[in-house]
Amino acid sequence: MAFSFVSKTGTMPSLFPTSSVTKTSASPIAFSPDSNQKWSARWSHPIPHTNSYYAKCMVAGVLSCGLTHTAVTPLDVSKCNMQMTPKKYKSLFQTMGLIAKEETSAALFKGWLPTLIGYSMQGLFKFGLYEIFKDVYSTMAGEENAYTYRGLIYLAGSASAEFFADIALCPMEMVKVKIQTTPAVEGFPKALGPAIAAMRAEPALGFPFKSLIPLWSRQIPYTMAKFYFFEKVVEAFYTHVFTEDRSTYSKSTQLGITFASGYLAGVICAIVSHPADTVVSKMGKAGAGSFTQILAELGPMGVWGGLGTRIIMIGTLTGLQWWIYDTFKTVFGMGTSGGAAKK
């Protein structure tokens, strides 16, 4: 989503009330002049950010995160087991082959349902609230500062959105990790309902929110990197490579830029958030210690187990998420995301 700042001859309504919109040649959107009204980021874009716009972004977020995380379940199963038992599971293909041999190939998809539910809920808040918080913080900063300090606004908006997204994700994330990392010989249920019941019956697991703090420590830096670098890479593409107005490029070109920007951002995300991700996986074991205890046990090198697999997974995942998100927005005439409009 790009900032498109209006001319100073028009003023904007307050943040949430609706307002009449008129088009002018000076800017994509202008409002009835009223000196008492404060500039609002919601109405500064080529397409106004109405409540309907935010709702559609939430639906796009559900599809973006839910579908992609479910699609890479085999990679996730392998990555979690490599983090849990690094001496047994040493590489991606060796891990996938060993799991399929010991538990059948269907085991590579275990935990797909809590993955689908959990990450759909996360996506709803992650993308939807990011759009809202970005507009809120931009309006608080004012028109000029919103552009000058847009990087800080990307970081603050994404961190705020992820705080709430992880609360929605945490219960299903705990179930997913437990299903994916418990050896078959232990007989832990693989179906969602029985798995939840088993976790509720075992107080040591701390279901449903024991993993929330490590989840925040993993996901908030991850999401900040994901949105910040996506916005910046898109901006760089349209500034240095595709230098014409964005609207002059075909939708397929714009979506290609979206995917490439998302993939590059995903690689950075994987590295930034990996130590906390390793700790979250370890907490799936019954009797596992606290976040700080597990971190101390792993040591500075142990927290990087499975990083290569996660880079492949998160890079692809993030690129696809942004592509799905922007495809949905494009279908509904909402434009593609990322980058600030040229001043």
pLDDT for residue 308: 83
Whether the per-residue pLDDT at 343 is higher than 90: the answer is no
Model confidence at 85, pLDDT cuts 50, 70, 90, reads confident
Whether the per-residue pLDDT at 79 is higher than 90: the answer is no
**Interatomic CA distance for residues 159 and 139, integer angstroms:** 17
115: closest CA among 161, 195, 182, 174? 174
Whether the per-residue pLDDT at 20 is higher than 60: the answer is no
pLDDT for residue 183: 83
pLDDT for residue 4: 43
pLDDT for residue 277: 74
Contact 319, 266 (CB under 8 A): yes
Model confidence at 6, pLDDT cuts 50, 70, 90, reads very low
pLDDT for residue 286: 55
pLDDT for residue 141: 96
150-194: per-residue pLDDT in tens? Answer: 999 999 999 999 999 999 999 999 999 999 988 887 889 999 999
Whether the per-residue pLDDT at 8 is higher than 60: the answer is no
Over range 55-76, report the average pLDDT.
Answer: 95
- Indicate the range of 67-71, 104-108, 293-297 predicted with least confidence: 293-297
pTM for the whole structure: 0.79
277: closest CA among 193, 199, 177? 177
pLDDT for residue 331: 96
Whether the per-residue pLDDT at 312 is higher than 50: the answer is yes
28-52: per-residue pLDDT in tens? Answer: 333 433 445 789 999 999 899 999 9
Burial code (b: 16+ CB inside 10 Å, e: under 16) for 48-85 equals bbeeebbebbbebbbbbbbbbbbbbbbbbbbbbbbbbe
pLDDT for residue 275: 80
**Interatomic CA distance for residues 247 and 297, integer angstroms:** 53
Whether the per-residue pLDDT at 279 is higher than 90: the answer is no
Contact 64, 123 (CB under 8 A): yes
6 burial type by CB count under 10 A (0-12 exposed, 13-18 middle, 19+ buried)? buried
Whether the per-residue pLDDT at 251 is higher than 90: the answer is yes
**Interatomic CA distance for residues 48 and 78, integer angstroms:** 43
Model confidence at 342, pLDDT cuts 50, 70, 90, reads low
pLDDT for residue 283: 67
Whether the per-residue pLDDT at 91 is higher than 90: the answer is no
Whether the per-residue pLDDT at 242 is higher than 50: the answer is yes
Model confidence at 284, pLDDT cuts 50, 70, 90, reads low
180: closest CA among 90, 285, 93, 92? 285
